[in-house]
Structure 1
Amino acid sequence: MTSFVQNTVHGLKSLLDQNGVIRILGSEGEITDALVTFSGSGASQSDIRAFETHHQLSLPDDYKKFLTLHNGARIFDSLLDGVNIGGGLHLFNIKEIDTELKDEELYEDVSGIPIGHLLEECDLMIDRDRLKEGDPNYLYLLEDGLEYKPLDLNFEIFLDRYVMCHGQPFWEWRYYTAENYYRI
């Protein structure tokens, strides 16, 4: 399987202005500015191997590819009058993942590796059990520390869709017709 994480990241970066801002068209014609920041450098292969050895796991190849490009990122944080008010996707660097994993209480009922915060309401998780089984649909959301919900995606497809949808929660979209759209 070929990873297209690099293409997604480079494509997004090409749309940013010199300050990392992108103007996006949202639902019903709303235009907003969002901030995108990537860590200055990627994680080394030896740092990734040390993390995997310490936690006795093997991260998925597409996610490792992202870490080697950028060891962490913030994607589509909302800007209000030029001030970052958050709300986007915070992809953790390796040290942040390690710190999150030390909070065993938060993750005791799930078999997940937290790799980011999403919309400041939930954690983006790699499911350890699915990973061990070789299931490519290993991403989950842990919402409010309570509901562990499968996304049925891997990291690169999630990232690609998240970027294409300008940070909108595409996994929650329902099918709308002209009849039912206005009833909501």
Structure 2
Amino acid sequence: MATNLAQLVLDGLKKRLDSNNQITVPKKGGKIYTAQFTFNPPATEELVIKFSRETHWHLPPDFKNFLLLHNGARLFENTKTGGGYELLSLYEIPDNHLDYMPKDCFSEYRETLQIGHNPVK
């Protein structure tokens, strides 16, 4: 029986979120902050196939499974200061792919597919 790791992880996370998709997160020194989670609607199987065919990029199975549940997400966004992490949607990946690659990076990293980033700068 195949296990959908993306589904298991998301189910576990969502059980910890309140009705507003928020969670209280402890920080160093006893401080806490409220983190917001935003999940996009799912991608269709057809969209995932079209993306791979048009870009010639291989999507790892777990990320494909995630996309079929949520075509992108924002995770651990601080409700007061922003930040957090973003898993890009299929619409955003092509526009962000090489923008995050250093100009002098090794050639093997050019084969890396950028699927997310930490928007905190």
5 Å matches for 1:106-121? 107=101, 109=105, 110-111=109-110, 112-118=112-118, 120-121=120-121
Which residue does the alignment assign to 1:73?
73
User: Percent same amino acid among aligned pairs?
Assistant: 33
1:2 Cα offset (Å):
3.2
Q: TM-score, normalised by structure 2?
A: 0.82
Coordinate RMSD, CA, aligned: 2.0
Is the alpha carbon distance of 1:106 and 1:6 closer, same or farther for their aligned partners in structure 2, counting shifts above 3 Å?
A: closer
C-alpha contact (below 8 Å) 2:25/2:33 kept by paired residues: yes
Q: How many residue pairs get matched? A: 114
Q: Distance in 1 between matches of 2:56 and 2:29?
A: 46
Which consecutive unaligned segments of at least 5 residues does structure 1 have? 122-184
The structure with the largest strand share of the pair is 1
5 Å matches for 1:81-120? 85-101=81-97, 104=98, 107=101, 109=105, 110-111=109-110, 112-118=112-118, 120=120
Point out which structure has higher relative CO (alpha carbons under 8 A, 6+ apart).
2
Q: Distance in 1 between matches of 2:6 and 2:39?
A: 14
Q: TM-score, normalised by structure 1?
A: 0.56
Q: Distance in 1 between matches of 2:12 and 2:66?
A: 14
**Runs of 4+ off more than 6 Å:** none
2:48 maps to a residue whose letter is I
1:106 Cα offset (Å):
5.1
